[in-house]
A and B are shown apart, each in its own frame.
Chain A
Amino acid sequence: MKSAVLVFPGSNREGDMVRALTQAGSKVEKVWHADHELPKGTDLVVLPGGFSYGDYLRCGAIAGRAHIMDAVRAHAARGGLVLGVCNGFQILCESGLLPGILMRNANLKFICHRQFLRVERNDTVFAKRYAKGQAIDVCVAHGEGNYTADTETLKRLEGESLVAFRYCDADGQVTPDANRNGSMNSIAGIYSEKLNVMGMMPHPENLIEDLVGGTDGRGLFESLVSSFAKAA
């Protein structure tokens, strides 16, 4: 599999993402925001975490309009895979590739902590290495992760089973206490209609080794790489 990790001014978790993808067996190339094209043969585009353009406007608003995003939209329209994590999720929402928006956390503060997520479905290329309903232990680090959408959108996401992950406790229970940023329906990540674009606030790329806290994040990258091994 060949991945392209986009780098915007202010991206800061691109190195973490490259490490996770490489470890899972993907070829990885970094792509500068001002480029107009993705590298040839890109299977997966990844928008990493960070503070693109300082997040001084709405998070992801400027990056969502960068040159390279036209190429990403075209890639997605062809059915290509796109993953956005944290600021990457915010950019996907701002660029129109995913519905909804990420608002300030309910407590109005940046929060960084370990966080369990419930895997809502495992029949996708992003999550097939997980079990449905499994509680995976990853982490969050964001100030604006409070997923918000209008009633219609929310109904559609739930109706079409497009929620990827929800905040939960260690037992997989989706509780208000486990939903610290105040997201609607405890949504931590969502899929696009065709299931080829996924955005999530938590950071699976930081939980890929026992030494630094655990390996529950690996499943996501291994799911992606294994999907391609078979397809190819």
Chain B
Amino acid sequence: MIRNDVAITPELVKEHGLKPDEYERFVALIGRTPTITELGIVSAMWNEHCSYKSSRLHLRGLPTKAPWVIQGPGENAGVIDIGDGLACVFKMESHNHPSFIEPYQGATTGVGGILRDVFTMGARPIAALNFLRFGEPDHPKTPHLVSGVVAGIGGYGNSFGVPTVGGSVGFHPRYNGNILVNAMAVGLARTNEIFYAAATGVGNPIVYLGSKTGRDGIHGATMASAEFDESSEEKRPTVQVGDPFAEKLLLEACLELMKSGAVIAIQDMGAAGLTCSAVEMGAKGDLGVELDLDKVPCREEGMTAYEMMLSESQERMLMVLKPGMEKEAEAIFIKWGLDFAIIGRTTDTLRFVVKHQGEVMADLPIKELGDEAPLYDRPHIANTHLPVIPATSVKAPVSEADALLKLVGSPDQCSKRWVWEQYDHLILGNTVQMPGGDAGVVRVEDGPKGLAMTTDVTPRYCEADPVEGGKQAVAEAWRNITAVGGLPLAITDNLNFGNPERPEVMGQFVGCLRGISDACRALDFPVVSGNVSLYNETNGQGILPTPAIGGVGLLDDVTVNASVAFKREGDAVILIGETQGWLGQSIYLRDICGREEGAPPPVDLTAERRNGDFVRQLIRSRQVKTVHDCSDGGLALALAEMAMAGGIGAVIATAPEGLPLHAFLFGEDQGRYVLAVNPDEAADILYEAASIGVPAMALGVTGGDSLILPGGQAISVKKLKAAHESWLPDYMAGKA
């Protein structure tokens, strides 16, 4: 039992993750020594995870506005207008640290948290995605982490009842001690029925809803703001446990309550639980908040104010209700079997007052808890530019066909079917394109609209050149949405980096953000929500800079879409975009030559937009149904994936002169798409492209049961497929 009058020592301050100067700042702000409950509250509000103290300064530079943006960053999730009175609500968030310590529960609560962010805004979740990075396959912990995280994501999403329609899975030694588990949720709401966190009105009841409060997750957000070391596993008790059943009930109850007109403001209890949600509701509404903790539904007896304020028990919500509607609200929650308790009220004092057993445990200025959080302009150094590696200096493989076969069966490029078959990707009956393509596509209600969604970033590019890498991440998300026929509308960003107190890491962060900003501006693809995850380091080894981008786009008519699979024999295969044969930082260079070197491919945002707009127009005018973008592994991998998905081969007859064949096939030049089109229309399409300055070339024709590369090397689709499908299941069975 922690008494509220326990003496505040420097050690105690340190244990709460506050630096001495941060503590001094707090003491100066309140004009006295804080109580232990107050110290707990400020540690929760001022840690990196909640205060964005290292990142806030730089996040301000991101473009967040567009005519279709209803709500940008700063709320539970971003909101965009998709026409006809409908809004798309989405966000991505990390649960990296907990997932490394307890993979199943870490992943479930990550999914639960992001779903809650979306339905807190009044939206019903219609799709989920994720972005996962694990350590090298040979690391002894990797299979266990893959197995637990995947089961956890499925365990939560499947039970909650949302289709998981897309994601990304990759491996790299730099994630050995810090895996990445980023979960994204997409929901649908009416534009005139969006709910926000800002409280209004003095004396209105503050209501606690959902599951009971326990001692789980206390200081979870503080853990997420520290580096790991060998003792990290001792932090297992700070990982929360997810209950998707409770969340499903909470979803239905919240949406029903919102419909009743009783809700003024709503905020989910995520990181730092009751503290963060109550402070945000008050501070955003310029109101004070008074809580009576005697009323909080608790799972365990004898919980102190300190514990209740810092608990991260899951599936809980805080609402400000319209006065007089308490009974109606309570009836809805009782119907769904959930706890409902009036635990406080709004005040005009601008103070955050917490009472327990008749005693004031905390009395703090509410605005300052957020606004006066430390803000750091941490020193950052720009990365040195790596040399451009000329294609001619990279050795050719003995056989391009064998190199391709190796790549399709490699850990990063192989089929992730083993993963996404554990996710219900078909529930709700609106999944038009399931995982395995360029982007997930779901129909909106009964149509005709559809939404396209994807998660992307190429961390090795970001490491080699943060600015270009940041640009590329946004461009690739934009390209993947374009490739299915969607008009890219907005992104959510999940910025995963190492320790920001190291200038080179801060340099990566600043550089990536610059690249992201440039690309978002050039592509009219603003940031509407996001999350920053720093301190992804173990024993001083940071992760690759990984700003995961979750993109969302709109299809006006979802029946008019394109997919990667070759659909029939005899189609003409066309390459859109310019190929220089860029092998620096390519998968070929890394996985065939064993070199992680050089500058990554530059992104020409003007060409990106021009090429993409051209491809999208071809899809929308129903001239093209088969499209795949070129990314990791270049043209060769794109062709192989199209052949495998359709079970149809192709003869690729043409390769440009003056370019080594392996550079043409495996170069990772940006802004490129492969199309398969009706042969009668191929000439028109090439002519059209030429007339508006879009580089396009005829590559060959679909057909047969092999992919035949320029020069005649053939590789059977069956063999490709066997290699592509077998690595992950074999690896997880301990056979690879």
Residues A141 and B424 in contact in the complex (CB < 8 Å), given A51-B244, A110-B154: yes
CA gap between A139 and B425 in the complex, in Å: 10
* A113 touches which of B421, B447, B559 (Cβ 8 Å): B421
- Whether A110 lies near B422 (C-beta < 8 A) is yes
Q: Interface segment, A10-18, A63-71, A119-127, A167-175? A: A10-18
* B426 touches which of A54, A112, A143 (Cβ 8 Å): A112
- Whether A212 lies near B245 (C-beta < 8 A) is no
- Whether B429 lies near A110 (C-beta < 8 A) is no
Contact of A211 with B by CB under 8 A: yes
Interface string of A193-210 (1 = CB under 8 A from B): 000000000010110110
Contact of B161 with A by CB under 8 A: yes
* A12 touches which of B336, B427, B558 (Cβ 8 Å): B427
Contact of B645 with A by CB under 8 A: no
* B336 touches which of A9, A50, A110, A113 (Cβ 8 Å): A9
Interface string of B420-452 (1 = CB under 8 A from A): 111111111111100000000001000100000
CA gap between A51 and B157 in the complex, in Å: 11
CA gap between A19 and B429 in the complex, in Å: 9
Contact of A111 with B by CB under 8 A: yes
CB < 8 Å A-B pair total:
86
CB B317 to nearest CB in A, in angstroms, measures 17
Residues on A with beta carbons closer than 8 Å to the beta carbon of B559: 211
Contact of A228 with B by CB under 8 A: no
* A111 touches which of B421, B429, B447 (Cβ 8 Å): B421
Contact of B493 with A by CB under 8 A: no
Chain B residue with Cβ nearest A14: B161
Of listed A12, A19, A113, residue having the most chain B CB within 10 A: A12
Contact of B686 with A by CB under 8 A: no
Residues on B with beta carbons closer than 8 Å to the beta carbon of A12: 159-161, 248, 427
Contact of B249 with A by CB under 8 A: yes
CB B310 to nearest CB in A, in angstroms, measures 27
Contact of B243 with A by CB under 8 A: yes
CA gap between A217 and B160 in the complex, in Å: 24
- Whether B336 lies near A16 (C-beta < 8 A) is no
Contact of A109 with B by CB under 8 A: yes
- Whether B245 lies near A53 (C-beta < 8 A) is yes
Chain B residue with Cβ nearest A10: B245
CA gap between A1 and B248 in the complex, in Å: 31
Residues on A with beta carbons closer than 8 Å to the beta carbon of B423: 110, 112
Residues A139 and B426 in contact in the complex (CB < 8 Å), given A211-B432, A211-B558, A212-B432: yes
Residues A109 and B245 in contact in the complex (CB < 8 Å), given A50-B161, A205-B429: no
Contact of A55 with B by CB under 8 A: yes
- Whether A206 lies near B245 (C-beta < 8 A) is no
CA gap between A110 and B147 in the complex, in Å: 12
Residues on A with beta carbons closer than 8 Å to the beta carbon of B425: 112
Chain B residue with Cβ nearest A7: B252
Residues A54 and B428 in contact in the complex (CB < 8 Å), given A110-B155, A211-B559: no
- Whether A16 lies near B243 (C-beta < 8 A) is no
- Whether A13 lies near B159 (C-beta < 8 A) is no
CA gap between A35 and B559 in the complex, in Å: 40
- Whether A212 lies near B429 (C-beta < 8 A) is yes
CB B160 to nearest CB in A, in angstroms, measures 7
- Whether B159 lies near A54 (C-beta < 8 A) is yes
Residues on A with beta carbons closer than 8 Å to the beta carbon of B432: 211-212
Contact of B158 with A by CB under 8 A: yes
Residues on A with beta carbons closer than 8 Å to the beta carbon of B712: none
Residues on B with beta carbons closer than 8 Å to the beta carbon of A110: 151, 154-155, 158, 422-424
Residues on A with beta carbons closer than 8 Å to the beta carbon of B159: 10, 12, 51, 54-55
CA gap between A101 and B454 in the complex, in Å: 39
Residues A206 and B426 in contact in the complex (CB < 8 Å), given A9-B336, A109-B151: yes
CA gap between A53 and B337 in the complex, in Å: 11
CA gap between A181 and B428 in the complex, in Å: 22
Residues on B with beta carbons closer than 8 Å to the beta carbon of A208: 429
- Whether B154 lies near A54 (C-beta < 8 A) is no
For the side of the interface on B, what is the size category? 20 to 34
Residues on A with beta carbons closer than 8 Å to the beta carbon of B160: 12
Give the residues from 223 to 264 in chain B that come closer than 8 angstroms, CB to CB, to chain A: 243-246, 248-249
CA gap between A112 and B162 in the complex, in Å: 13
Residues A13 and B155 in contact in the complex (CB < 8 Å), given A54-B244, A111-B421: no
* B430 touches which of A50, A53, A212 (Cβ 8 Å): A212
CA gap between A212 and B154 in the complex, in Å: 21
Interface of A is mostly: mixed
- Whether A51 lies near B424 (C-beta < 8 A) is no
- Whether B244 lies near A141 (C-beta < 8 A) is no
CA gap between A23 and B422 in the complex, in Å: 29
Of listed A16, A19, A113, A211, residue having the most chain B CB within 10 A: A211
CB B412 to nearest CB in A, in angstroms, measures 22
* B421 touches which of A16, A112, A205, A211 (Cβ 8 Å): A112
Residues on A with beta carbons closer than 8 Å to the beta carbon of B154: 110
CB B24 to nearest CB in A, in angstroms, measures 48
Chain B residue with Cβ nearest A52: B245
* A13 touches which of B161, B244, B431 (Cβ 8 Å): B161
CA gap between A16 and B161 in the complex, in Å: 11
CB A169 to nearest CB in B, in angstroms, measures 15
Residues on A with beta carbons closer than 8 Å to the beta carbon of B249: 9-10
- Whether A203 lies near B558 (C-beta < 8 A) is no
CB B272 to nearest CB in A, in angstroms, measures 26
CB A197 to nearest CB in B, in angstroms, measures 24
CB B425 to nearest CB in A, in angstroms, measures 6
Interface string of B152-183 (1 = CB under 8 A from A): 00110011110000000000000000000000
Residues on B with beta carbons closer than 8 Å to the beta carbon of A13: 161, 427
CA gap between A211 and B425 in the complex, in Å: 15
CA gap between A16 and B445 in the complex, in Å: 11
CA gap between A208 and B151 in the complex, in Å: 29
Interface string of B393-428 (1 = CB under 8 A from A): 000000000000000000000000000111111111
Of listed B428, B429, B443, residue having the most chain A CB within 10 A: B429
Give the residues from 550 to 582 in chain B that come closer than 8 angstroms, CB to CB, to chain A: 558-559
- Whether A206 lies near B421 (C-beta < 8 A) is no
CA gap between A111 and B154 in the complex, in Å: 9
CA gap between A212 and B426 in the complex, in Å: 9
Residues on B with beta carbons closer than 8 Å to the beta carbon of A20: 429
CA gap between A26 and B245 in the complex, in Å: 30
Interface string of A46-85 (1 = CB under 8 A from B): 0001110111100000000000000000000000000000
Give the residues from 97 to 141 in chain A that come closer than 8 angstroms, CB to CB, to chain B: 109-113, 139, 141
Chain A residue with Cβ nearest B561: A211
- Whether B426 lies near A141 (C-beta < 8 A) is yes
CA gap between A50 and B428 in the complex, in Å: 11
CA gap between A147 and B161 in the complex, in Å: 23
CA gap between A203 and B424 in the complex, in Å: 12
CB B280 to nearest CB in A, in angstroms, measures 30
Residues on A with beta carbons closer than 8 Å to the beta carbon of B424: 110, 112, 141
Residues on A with beta carbons closer than 8 Å to the beta carbon of B243: 54
* B427 touches which of A9, A10, A111, A206 (Cβ 8 Å): A206
CB B334 to nearest CB in A, in angstroms, measures 11
CA gap between A49 and B427 in the complex, in Å: 9
Residues on A with beta carbons closer than 8 Å to the beta carbon of B447: 211
- Whether B245 lies near A16 (C-beta < 8 A) is no
CA gap between A113 and B160 in the complex, in Å: 18
- Whether B245 lies near A203 (C-beta < 8 A) is no
- Whether A10 lies near B158 (C-beta < 8 A) is no
CB B586 to nearest CB in A, in angstroms, measures 33
15 contacts across the A-B interface (CB closer than 8 A): A9-B249, A12-B248, A13-B427, A51-B244, A53-B245, A54-B244, A110-B422, A111-B422, A112-B426, A206-B429, A209-B429, A211-B443, A211-B447, A211-B559, A212-B432
A15-B428, A211-B558 known, 17 other contacts, Cβ within 8 Å: A9-B337, A10-B159, A10-B245, A13-B161, A15-B429, A16-B428, A49-B427, A51-B159, A51-B244, A110-B155, A110-B424, A111-B421, A112-B421, A113-B421, A143-B158, A212-B426, A212-B429
Top-6 shortest CB links A-B: A12-B161, A54-B245, A51-B159, A141-B424, A16-B429, A112-B424
